[in-house]
Structure 1
Amino acid sequence: MHTLKIRKIGNSAGVVLTGEVLDALGVQIGDQLQLVPTERGFEVRPYDPEFADALDKARAIMRKRRKALRELAK
């Protein structure tokens, strides 16, 4: 397990990832990460543009078909 400290970066906040963590995630400086909510909290993942596109499309369908989805959930 790695403990991260939140640091002030300009008007924002950030964490510093060690080289070991970057290697484990398979990312390098300049790559994007996704912070994904899970049942247990949040998960940090490498950014996957195909997954992000699919998620955007799913959200659009859910907004458009909100009533139908609500009825199906009953």
Structure 2
Amino acid sequence: MELAIRSIGNSAGVVLPKEVLNRLRVDKGDKLYLTETEDGYKLTPYNDEFAKQMNIAEDIMREDRDILKALAK
């Protein structure tokens, strides 16, 4: 799919077709994240960095469950 870069005010942007928005399950006002990969760029509605941080947090919570229970009291 070819997209054209257009002027939007003093900036430049790309207009995504409605079918792309539907496949990404996003709408106007939602955030998208652009990640550079070794194959090019990936556009996704998911924040990969936040997901990595949450996975680390879940690991810590599993490992230190007893400590967290004691702190919660």
Alignment: residue pair count: 55
Runs of 4+ with >6 A deviation: none
Q: RMSD over aligned Cα, in angstroms?
A: 2.6
Q: C-alpha separation between the residues in 2 aligned to 1:29 and 1:47?
A: 16
Q: What is aligned with 2:38? A: 39
Give the 5 Å matches for 1:1-74: 2-48=1-47, 51=50, 54=53
Question: Structure 2 length normalisation: TM-score?
Answer: 0.63
Question: Structure 1 length normalisation: TM-score?
Answer: 0.62
For the pair shown, the structure with the greater C-alpha radius of gyration is: 2
Q: C-alpha separation between the residues in 2 aligned to 1:48 and 1:12?
A: 24
What is the SS of the residue equivalent to 1:22?
helix
- Which 5+ residue runs of structure 2 have no aligned equivalent? 55-73
Q: C-alpha separation between the residues in 1 aligned to 2:48 and 2:29?
A: 15
Identity in percent:
54
Deviation at 1:32, TM superposition (A): 0.4
